[in-house]
């Protein structure tokens, strides 16, 4: 039944959970949405849907690689949120600056982690 390493399913679960949280706690995501982006509620909705669908897609051979590239693209786009949160106290939403700075290389690690599954 499970034809991939357990950690790929862990990644899938992580993205599915993160996507569900967009619907369970949308105010958290609205608070960090860059002000220069239009329709923040729609962006929170669609980014949550993308995380859920891409997470599910990781679990199937037919959609795994497409989901991987979708996750990498999504993480690149999410970098704009991470940089925006560094622009001021209000934008940081109470998160310490050192954590915000740590999140940027973490995005790169997550991209590499996803990309590593294109080889299996």
- Please give the backbone phi and psi of residue 110, each rounded to the nearest 5 degrees, phi first: -65, -35
Is residue 108 domain-resident?
yes
Residues 75, 64: Cα–Cα separation, whole Å = 16
Is residue 44 domain-resident?
yes
Is residue 28 domain-resident?
yes
Cα atoms in the Cβ-side hemisphere of radius 13 Å centred on 107: 19
Residues 111, 104: Cα–Cα separation, whole Å = 11
Is residue 81 domain-resident?
yes
Write out pLDDT tens, residues 17-46: 999 999 999 999 999 999 999 999 999 999
Is residue 110 domain-resident?
yes
For residue 93, what are the domain limits? 6-119
Is residue 23 domain-resident?
yes
Domain count, the chain: 1
Q: Considering the chain, what percentage of its residues have pLDDT values greater than 70?
A: 99
CB 52 within 8 A of CB 16: yes
Write out pLDDT tens, residues 35-83: 999 999 999 999 999 999 999 999 999 999 999 999 999 999 999 999 9
Is residue 1 domain-resident?
no
């Amino acid at each position: 039944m499970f034809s991939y390493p357990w950690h790929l399913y862990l990644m899938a679960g992580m993205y599915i959970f993160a996507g569900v949280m967009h619907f369970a706690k949308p105010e958290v995501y609205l608070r960090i949405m860059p002000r220069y982006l239009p329709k923040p509620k729609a962006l929170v909705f669609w980014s949550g849907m993308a995380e859920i669908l891409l997470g599910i897609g990781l679990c199937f051979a037919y959609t795994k690689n497409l989901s991987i590239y979708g996750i990498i693209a999504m993480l690149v786009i999410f970098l704009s949120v991470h940089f925006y949160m560094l622009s001021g106290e209000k934008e940081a939403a109470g998160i310490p600056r050192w954590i915000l700075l740590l999140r940027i290389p973490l995005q790169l690690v997550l991209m590499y982690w996803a990309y590593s599954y294109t080889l299996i």
